[in-house]
């Protein structure tokens, strides 16, 4: 599977609101595979399709518990509030303090088109929110209270 070039801040695709996936076909499944390969190659914990130049609502995440593939993800429950340090493969070498919900519940489709529900707290909650922000054209640097080089 090919590793795809990760788009950097300033690329216009990162500011677009990504389109919903209408049909989960071979191309979407290949995109999921390529995104996972790209994320692992870059030592990331999450990657959204716009980061590889595809304006679709597709996300892959692995916070150390195995790959999570989300198609058309939507946060349906948010609870609590916490600050944490974030980085982004599209903003290499920069980190910032971002306030996020402490726990979230996300509904999405998996690669088989089945509706799934993911409950996340800690790093998983942060990754879910960060990647879904990408689908809405939002980079963490726009939300960060402070920024520093890594």
Active site (annotated) includes residue 79: no
How many whole angstroms separate alpha carbon 33 and alpha carbon 37?
6
Pairing of strands 94-100, 103-109: unpaired
130 is in an annotated binding site: yes
99's CB contacts (< 8 A; 6+ apart) are 81, 82, 83, 143, 145
148 is in an annotated binding site: no
CA distances from 124 to 22, 78, 147 (A): 26, 13, 21
Kindly name the residue from 22, 69, 97, 131 that is annotated as catalytic: 131
Residues known to be catalytic: 131
Residues flagged as binding site for Fe cation: 88, 130, 134
Residues flagged as binding site: 88, 130, 134
């Amino acid at each position: 599977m090919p590793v795809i070039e990760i788009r950097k801040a300033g690329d216009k695709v990162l500011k677009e609101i990504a389109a919903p996936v209408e049909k989960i076909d071979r191309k979407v499944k290949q995109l999921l595979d390529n995104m996972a390969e790209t994320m692992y190659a870059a030592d990331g914990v999450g990657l959204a399709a716009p980061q590889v130049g595809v304006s679709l609502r597709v996300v892959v995440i692995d916070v150390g518990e195995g790959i999570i593939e989300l198609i058309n993800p939507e946060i349906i429950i948010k609870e609590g509030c916490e600050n944490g340090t974030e980085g982004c493969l599209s903003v290499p070498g920069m980190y910032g303090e971002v306030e996020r919900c402490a726990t979230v519940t996300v509904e999405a489709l998996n690669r088989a088109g089945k509706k799934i529900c993911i409950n996340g707290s800690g790093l998983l909650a942060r990754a879910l929110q960060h990647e879904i922000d990408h689908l809405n054209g939002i980079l963490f640097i726009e939300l960060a209270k402070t920024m520093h080089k890594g």
